[in-house]
Every structure is written in C-alpha cells, then in structure tokens.
Amino acid sequence: MSTLEQITDPLCYHGEGPVWSDSWGGLRWVDMLAGDLLTLRADGTVDRLNVGKVAAFVRPRTGGGYVVATERGIALAEGPDEAPASPRELWSDPGVRMNEGGCDPAGNLYAGSMPYDKTPGAAKLYRITPAGDVSVVLPSVTTSNGIDFSPDGTRAYYNDTQTGGTDVFDVVDGELTNRRLFHHGDGGRPDGLNVDSAGNVWVAMNRVGKVRLYSPEAEILTEVDLPLRLVTACTLGGADGRDLYITTSRENLEDPEPQAGAVFRLRADVPGKPVLPYAG
C-alpha cells in the first residue's frame, strides 16, 4: 500500500461514515453531531449540507438521490445534492440516536442506534425494506456501528463497539443468522467497517488510531497507523476502487491531535466492491 495522505483539513468534530458513489460525484461522509453531509468535490473543495441535529450515515438510492439517517429516523432526498424531505422517525425516545448503518444486496437499509448515555443494551439494529416496512433485527445492542456484506451476500459483518470485537453472521434467505465473533479488537474499539471485492474486511479501530484489514478467514493481513486516536470509519472508492478513505474525530477530546477531524487516503492492493444502495 502507498503512503497515507491527509486530503482535507480537520473539518469535522465527529467525522464518520465515508461512502464513495458516482451518483453524487465521489466521496461523501458526515460530521455526525453537527448534522452535516460533506461532499468532496473534484477540485478538492468540500461542500456541507445540514440535515438536522444529527447526520448519522448516508447511502445512495437505486432510483437516484440518497437516504440519510437523522437523529431518530431516516430522510429521503430525490437528487444527489438536494436537501432531504422531513425525516420519518423510527422511535421517540430522545435519549437514543442513530449511529451507523448500511445496505444489503437486496436493497434493504440497516440502521443502528445508540443511547447518548451508552446504557448497555438500550439500542437496536433496524431493517427498513424498499417498501418502507421496519423491523428490529437486533433488539439489544449498545453502540451499533459498521455493517457490510460479503461480495456473494452470504455473510454480514457487524460491529457493536461496546463488545470490543467484530461479529459475523450467516445470511440465510435474507436473514442474519448464527451470530459469532469474527475477531476481537485487541484493545481497539471496532467502529466503521467495509468489505472489499475479495471479501476482506477493513475495520476502523477507534481510540488506538488504526485501520485493520482481515481476510475472510479472520487473519490480520495488515494494519494502517494514523497520527491520531479517534479513527471512525473507512471505505474504498476512487476511479478504480482502490483508494481507501478514512474518517476521523475529535469528539470529547481535551487535547485533540492537529489532524483530528480530517479525512485521509491511501492506495489499497484490492479494489472495493460497489456501494450497496437503498432500493427505497
């Protein structure tokens, strides 16, 4: 892999959820607790769009536009740069907010929550179908974080950060089954994750300043060290899918590193798979 480079200023208080999609021109991510979507333009400038108090994650839609997770629900936009419509709330408890999510190959949206006070088991992982039907997939999680699927759709990888590890499910008839530990975080706090075209799993290790790469057999293939502690999420993109983009944070730090809140990039050996869109 190439040398790590910083590609934005430290723009974010809590940068999260990077996603590459040609539908909006490249890289988009969130400044979560500012409620902003950020888009990196071809000339290196960054646009911001506020969608409310919280912007937890964003995904493209198959018919155009995007879906964004707001504080307690989801909102749909018809165009790539349009503001979304009013959100649909999934719950009313003000002590719980959205945190991270993703889509499966069938176009369902998975949206995970977390309690502001991090009460164990007080959060859920929801599934929203293309028709808008909502169900609870996991009824008792704490900090629902990254979720992504293997290239063949037979596995789902998932981080509930408070467990200290990354879990894997078998996907049977579209359902997540047989949850088990994939790999422990070894002191890191598994945050966002991304599965590449070879089925390898990239996991952001919060608090220890790393991104770790696992093989499908849970072997540690490499680790990427960053010059800061709060590494939040990662995704693959770029013209050939081999640019690894990494978001960072300075949330609750009294002594943040100068680069905390910036986005970083390096070249990966294996390209990513296309982002899975929401079919709703």
Cα–Cα distance measured from residue 205 to residue 210, given in angstroms and rounded to the nearest whole number: 5
Q: Residues annotated as binding site for substrate?
A: 97, 99, 117
Residue 6, CA distances (Å) to 9, 23, 34, 56, 228 in order: 8, 24, 21, 23, 12
DSSP of 23-83, one letter per residue? GGTEEEEEEGGGTEEEEE-TTS-EEEEE-SS---EEEEBTTSSEEEE-SSEEEEESSTTSP
The set of catalytic residues is: 191
Smallest CA-to-CA distance from 126 within 169, 83, 69 is with: 69
- Please measure the distance between the N-terminal and C-terminal CA atoms of the chain and give it in whole angstroms: 37
Neighbouring-strand partners of residue 171: 176
Q: Residues annotated as binding site for a divalent metal cation?
A: 16, 145, 191
Smallest CA-to-CA distance from 236 within 89, 19, 17 is with: 19
- CA quadruple 191, 32, 156, 90: dihedral sign: positive
Burial (CB < 10 A; 0-12, 13-18, 19+), residue 264, is buried
DSSP of 172-202, one letter per residue? ETTEEEEEEEEEE-TTSEEEEEEEBTTS-EE
Q: Residues annotated as binding site?
A: 16, 97, 99, 117, 145, 191
Cα–Cα distance measured from residue 102 to residue 178, given in angstroms and rounded to the nearest whole number: 20
